[in-house]
Amino acid sequence: VQEAEAAARGARDLDALREALAAYPHCALKKGARSLVFCDGVPGSRVMIVGEAPGREEDLQAKPFVGRAGQLLDRMLAPIGLARTENVYITNVLPWRPPQNRDPKPDEIAMLLPFLKRHIELAAPEILVIVGNISCQALLGRRGITRLRGQWTEAEARPALPIFHPAYLLRNPAAKREAWADMLALQARLRRPS
Ligand code: URA
């Protein structure tokens, strides 16, 4: 973790951070993954979305949230005027796909957390959207998305909104009602003069 902290801190911009991750030798996930999945969207956006980890499609395309869950995420963002081609920046807690999409282990999250924190610092969003339990664990230090979702909190010194993971919504479509309420809360916040 100390090495990760030093490597992350040494990165002066997003390209350097991507390179530091690519050169970081201590995460076993990297060996099993095809791609480093670093980001998508527009750096400098007011909103940064933090997901969990790449899945199969993401690993193939080297971009976060491009599979079915990602397409649902795009459909959730569009009605509130957000699109990764314009005004959203997207990353994950983990830049490498875990084998068979298993949940990331706590030590994997802890090892890579300095990179995520530096990523947020360098992307400098006004607002963080924290997607699903793993991201809540990483950035808020607690799980329990059912209670946390829709409640504004703070992470990395900025307002943060936990939301259900779109993969969860694909399995539990009834929860889309809450997910939509959370999108409206995000929209209201973005409209508020800051
Ligand atoms: N799920 C995530 O959390 N992130 C992705 O990039 C894709 C699916």
Mapping DSSP to helix (H, G, I), strand (E, B) and coil, where does residue 79 land?
Answer: helix
What pLDDT, in 10s, does the model give residues 62-83? 999 999 999 999 999 999 999 9
Residues spanned by the domain of 38: 2-191
Regarding an ipTM greater than 0.90, the answer is yes
- 135 CB near ligand 1 (under 6 Å): no
Ligand 1 atom nearest the C-alpha of 132 is: 3
Confidence of residue 27 (pLDDT cuts 50, 70, 90): very high
Helix/strand number for the chain, H first, E second: 10, 6
CA 86 to chain centre: 17
Ligand 1 atom nearest the C-alpha of 90 is: 6
Most informative mutation of 38, 58, 63 for ligand 1 (most atoms within 8 A of CB):
58
This prediction has a pTM of 0.97
Partners of residue 47 on adjacent β-strands: 88, 127
Average pLDDT, the chain: 97
> Average pLDDT in the 50-70 region?
98
> Average pLDDT in the 1-17 region?
96
Domain total of the chain:
1
Confidence of residue 193 (pLDDT cuts 50, 70, 90): confident
List the CATH number of the domain containing 96. 3.40.470.10
Looking at residue 194, its pLDDT comes to 64
pLDDT of 104 strictly over 90: yes
Cα–Cα distance measured from residue 14 to residue 157, given in angstroms and rounded to the nearest whole number: 19
pLDDT of 178 strictly over 80: yes
What pLDDT, in 10s, does the model give residues 110-138? 999 999 999 999 999 999 999 999 999 99
Two tokens, residue 134: 């793993």
- 92 CB near ligand 1 (under 6 Å): yes
